[in-house]
Amino acid sequence: MSEETTANSTWSRMLAGNRRFAEGKEEHPWQDKETRESLIDRQNPDAAVLSCSDSRVPPEIIFDAGLGDMFTVRTAGQMIDKSVLQSLEYAVSGLHVSLLVVLGHQHCGAVVHAEHDLDELVEHLTNEITNTRTKEEIMEDLDQVIESSSNEFLKNVGISVWQARMAGLEDCDDYEQVHIAHTIEQLVTSSEIIRDAVAHEKLMIVGARYRLDTGLVEVLSF
């Protein structure tokens, strides 16, 4: 079985589990004493999941998964730093997962927080307009200002909000979707291990968004 086939099968199984969860028909697989004991000395997860640390979005629960099924890394707004990157690289090169899911969600507090910080930054910069520097010139440099910021929410999530606005998008749902796409781009450009695994078809990356209102996971990229 090829890595692509394995990844597709894993993702189909995860989506089936999510449908069970949304319908209130969870099976709670692989959560028994025997499974726990079988995993004492080893783990062999099929997928890695980078998701938001929001308490309403635990991947193992919303995908109705069990012990050992997925390697999860969670941060607010699925922000990426060195430890996150190296954890996912371990999943790819050490555990040989064939699927990496970047999972955002509806009503993400990190996106709202970053949007607020971005608005404050724009207001601050606008107040610095002078006779020699126009608002348009300041806005042209905003990407660089955001990326050099010490504010992690602004640097990691605010840049996604800004890119969405530059594309004419103004809804928080749109910001969340753009941020998921931006996170995938960050992973591929920042990690040679992940980039090579994708290039050699050993890894498939999926962008998805969990809806709090329905309990369902939307597929954004495949």
**Residue ranges for the binding site for Zn(2+)?**
52, 54, 105, 108
Q: Which two tokens stand for residue 150?
A: 């010490």
Binding-site members are 52, 54, 105, 108
Measure the CA angle with vertex 195, ends 194 and 201; round to 5°: 90
For β-strands 204-210 and 47-52, DSSP reports them as unpaired
Helix, strand or coil, per DSSP, at residue 11: helix
Query: Could you tell me the CA-to-CA distances from 124 to 121, 129, 133, 135, 163 in Å, in that order?
Result: 5, 10, 14, 11, 19
- Unique residue bearing structure tokens 């040989």: 96
Find out whether 35 and 67 touch, Cβ atoms under 8 Å: yes
68: Cα separation from own chain's centroid: 20
For β-strands 217-221 and 204-210, DSSP reports them as antiparallel
